[in-house]
Structure 1
Amino acid sequence: MADTADVIAEEIRRRTDDISSINRRIHSNPELAYEEHQAHDAFVSTLQSLGLTVTPHAYGLSTAFSADFGTGGRLIVFNAEYDALPGIGHACGHNLIASASFAAFLGAAAALRSSNQPGRVRLLGTPAEEGGGGKLKLIAAGAYRGAAASMMVHPGPSHGLAAPVRGVSFVRMLANVKVQVHFAGREAHAAIAPWDGVNALDAVCLSYNAVSMLRQQIRPHERIHGVFRAAGNRPNVTPADCTVEYYVRNATRAGAEALWARVRRCFEGAALATGCEMRVEPLNSYADVRPSRALCEAYVEAMPRGTVAMDEPADILAGSTDMGDVCYECPGFHGVFGIDTKEGEANHTKGFAAAAGTQDALDRALECGRGMALVAWRVLSDDAFAERVQKEWEDDMKLAAEGK
């Protein structure tokens, strides 16, 4: 492993300019879900210039790509995210996710090249994590089929970490059921004949208050939040078509579905009380992140001593991601590394977006890439370790099927 670690570190050092160029281009040109054409093209051209086999517009998605190296053996998939948020750019640091995965892929490919042993690594461009469910489409298209592991790291706030700790390895994230609920009533002149109307905004308000009351009776780790998407146009017209959008989260996919069933009754009751029709439109729902403990332990060992905690703080990144669905397809790793923001801002803020563009943040992403490459190499080269990873994942999937 010592020799391999040197090979990986040297390859990432040699390719730092290429990685840095990709990182800057993505950060300075934020693109929304399924519109990441510049990021896609930059990756494809760079990978081709390095002599790697690249499939642009991979798996039927115009802004996905796949770069593969190696033959036979086990397959490791590194996920490169690069979509941004409306109005606040790379406020979740997906440029850093892409950079870390790029570094890990290059490092692991170099290890395979120098060893001449069987094994495959894939850098997968995964668009539209921010609400678009890009990985769900990639899963359906077979991008992770047969993978021994899938890996990525995500930046988060460093203010919750105690030096010298800079990251957390075993990170659970919540499952998320996402829906739009449409209420349909009947228009009327609100002054001349209000009795002729069926007020869809009343249904929206009743359901909002019902959900607010339900929050008193849910568990501490559960979350319900929503917004009004359409709530009428003029005060003197009874609103006939109104829409709300809600996210319902729980620690497990089964738990999120069970909580959604309770939330749905709030909407059904409001529709019944107001005389409105109700229609539920499912959006991209994400499973809970169920990381491989074996991969996480190996990552702690691969990183500089004392810089990565196993699972503390447990809530360093408590949102949801489509990487959760990948964890149901194969053993997964979704570690978090901290970056420094000027005033302690966390993800999805302008302050975090600014910090994600700094050299220090990129340096930390590259360090994480080296760690992931070492873990990937262990899965590729160590049969006993790979068998442990697979067995633990199979056991965990049995627990997931039981809603645990």
Structure 2
Amino acid sequence: MTTGTLLAASAAENDYFMLQVVQAIDAKAKELWEINQKIHSNPELGFQEYKAHDNITALLESLGFQVTRHAYGLSTAFVSEYGQGGRVVAFNAEYDALPGIGHACGHNLIAMMSIAAFLGVAEVLKQQREKGQPVPGRVRLIGTPAEEGFGGKIPIVKAGAYTDVDACLMTHPGPFTECPGFTGDAYMPTLASLKLGVEFTGKTAHAAMAPWEGINSLDAAVLAYNGIAALRQQIHPSNRVHCIISNGGDRPNIIPGTAALDCYIRSGSVKIAEQLLERVKACFEGAATQAGCTMKLQMKNTYADLRPNKTLSTVYAKAMSKLGSEVRCDLTSAGVPGSTDQGNVTYACPGFQAYVGVPAQPGCNNHTAGFTAVAGTKESHELCLQAGKGMAITGWNILTDDEVAARIKADFEEDKTIRELDVQPSMDKKILLANAGFC
């Protein structure tokens, strides 16, 4: 069966392929629950997800897939691909945890959903090939470590993992309270985030015996912090600047010779964030001058704003509706004020990060111990498995529907122009109050 034949397929035939995708995922229900539980019960921090890496790759290999372990120069990344020719749809799997509270962001569920979607699309491609009706197209599962602050997808993007990808999908779990009246959200932008640190250097001295001999670097850090606090009053409501004093000295009787701040700058786009960075730098420079210190600025990483592809989000929402799960798909939504390195992927190729609700109780939002508990339950697993099926159906449509693929590409090209504009995004009450699970 050719792609053109699929385009002309009747509604009944389209439903047939959707059913085949769903059945393929259901056939691996046992394996998917087991891999979910293995990841959840063995939480590992970013770039240290050795058990998750080995367990997922071993599962894929046991199912007959070829896997590249330790891919893209990262010891805990991997990639597996199935199919030939045609378009490429990719699913990103995250599996890192948070310090002290384990899988409080539900990355065990993210990994499971993407594995499920990969298996569903791959199995139907295999079935069509065995019937002598091969469908051109490839499905790719990318294991992306260290989303929580370390930007594990950034080197994967730089390594070219998405250069030939027509669409990249993943879905994030969070409380039902973030999508009232729906089971999830298909269109959820996030903010860009620049992570940086600044170190001030002065001169140590005895704080009581000879303070005049010292240059107090903590003074510079405090002045910088207060300068940013003042700056916040005059920045757009969609922008955020968060700072902590990460080094304030050793002992009170020693004038600190070094002090440091860690900062995040968040804005509606990378371009706007970089403009705000210049104002933040001025706060640092002015503080160093006032205190008589030198300063060193270190840029750590940049999480691009997540820019969901509108056609991709719409197709996913329709797929979820057919599965009996109504997800919100407001293409004017301001999204949430968090950040994720999936945003970097949406700069490299068309993509999205959908949202799936799970039954977290009040006070048990993402990044809390309460969410860790709910992320390990069977109920959350089943709800997320439904989202995995929705992603798989969407992926199949991308591979087999030329019109859908063309609209996705056109949306992506249009967005390239939009994101270059120096315009602050609109900001409504939803984004000011939203609370979802992004680092």
Say if 2:117 is the partner of 1:108. no
Aligned with 1:298 (options 307, 312, 315): 315
Match of 1:178 in 2: 195
Q: Does 1:151 align with 2:151?
A: no
Which one of the candidate residues 399, 404, 422 is aligned to 1:385?
404
Tell me the residue number matched to 2:295: 278
Change in 2 beyond 3 A, CA 1:316/1:397: closer
Which structure 2 residues correspond to residues 76-95 of structure 1 after superposition, within 5 A? 76-95=89-108
Counterparts of 1:175 and 1:403, CA distance in 2: 14
Partner of 1:363 in structure 2? 382
* Structure 1 equivalent of residue 278 of structure 2: 261
Identity percentage of aligned residues: 46
Report SS of the residue matched to 1:303: helix
Tell me the CA shift for residue 353 of structure 1: 1.2
Report deviation, 1:313: 10
- Rounded to whole Å, the distance in 2 between the matches of 1:386 and 1:12 is 23
> Quick one: which amino acid aligns to residue 324 of structure 1?
G
Q: Which moved more, 1:384-393 or 1:314-323?
A: 314-323
Is the contact between residue 174 and residue 360 of structure 2 (CA under 8 Å) also seen in structure 1?
A: no
Give the CA deviation at 1:142: 1.3
CA contact (8 A) 1:253 1:403 kept: no
> TM-score, normalized by length of structure 2?
0.90
Partners of 1:56 and 1:64 within 8 A in 2: yes
1:64 aligns with 2:77: yes
Q: For residues 170-319 of structure 1, what are the structure 2 equivalents within 5 Å? A: 170-304=187-321, 305=324, 307-311=326-330, 314=333, 317-319=336-338
CA contact (8 A) 1:156 1:337 kept: yes
Following superposition, the deviation at residue 399 of structure 1 comes to: 1.5
In the alignment, which of 45, 48, 67 is matched to residue 54 of structure 1? Answer: 67
Question: Does structure 2 conserve the Cα–Cα contact (< 8 Å) formed by 1:175 and 1:251?
Answer: yes
1:399 to 2:418 alignment? yes
Shift of 1:312: 8.7
Q: Deviations for 1:52-100, whole angstroms, at most 9, x for unmatched residues? A: 1111111111100111100100011100000011111111111111011
The 2-side partners of 1:192 and 1:344 are apart by: 50
Q: Post-superposition shift, 1:35?
A: 0.2
Q: What amino acid sits opposite 2:417 in the alignment?
A: K
> One-letter code of the match for 2:85?
G
Deviation string 1:101-121 (CA, Å, 9 cap, x unpaired) is: 011101111222223211000
State the shift of 1:343 in Å: 2.5
Residue 403 of structure 1, CA deviation: 3.9
Q: In structure 1, what is the Cα distance between the partners aligned to 2:104 and 2:165?
A: 30
- Confirm or deny: 8 A CA contact 2:239 2:268 kept in the other structure: yes
Whole-angstrom distance in 1 between the partners of 2:292 and 2:206: 17
Contact 1:172 1:288 in 2 (8 A): yes
| Dislocated runs of 4+, deviation >6 Å | none
- Report if the CA contact (8 A) 1:160-1:313 is conserved: no
Structure 1 residue 225: deviation in Å?
0.6
Distance 2:194 2:318 in 1: 35
Matches of 1:119 and 1:403, distance apart in 2 = 38
For the residue of structure 2 that corresponds to 1:283, the secondary structure is: strand
Residues 183 and 357 in structure 2, CA contact (< 8 A), matched pair in contact too: yes
Where structure 1 has 5 or more consecutive residues not aligned to the other structure, the ranges are none
Q: CA deviation at 1:222?
A: 1.0
Structure 1 residues 98 and 317, CA, compared in 2 at 3 Å: closer, same or farther? farther
Residues 125-184 of structure 1, C-alpha deviations (whole Å, 9 max, x = no match): 000111111111101111112100100001122123323x11011110000011010000
Count of residues in correspondence between the two structures: 403
2:111 matched to which residue of 1?
98
Deviation of 1:316 (Å):
6.3
Conserved? CA contact 1:156–1:316, under 8 Å = no
Query: 1:365 and 1:189, CA in 2 relative to 1: closer, same or farther beyond 3 A?
Result: same
Q: CA contact under 8 A between 1:175 and 1:288: conserved in structure 2? A: yes
Whether contact under 8 Å (2:191, 2:336) holds in the other structure is: no
Counterpart AA for 2:144:
T
Q: Match of 1:122?
A: 140
Post-superposition shift, 1:226?
1.5
- Of residues 70-79 and 258-267 in structure 1, the stretch that sits farther from structure 2 once superposed is 258-267
The aligned counterpart of 2:7 is: none
> Structure 1: how far apart are the matches of 2:240 and 2:88?
36
Question: Secondary structure, in 3 states, of the residue corresponding to 1:318?
Answer: coil
Task: Show structure 2 runs of 5+ residues with no match.
Answer: 1-13, 129-133, 424-439
Cα distance between partner residues in 1 of 2:332 and 2:367: 19
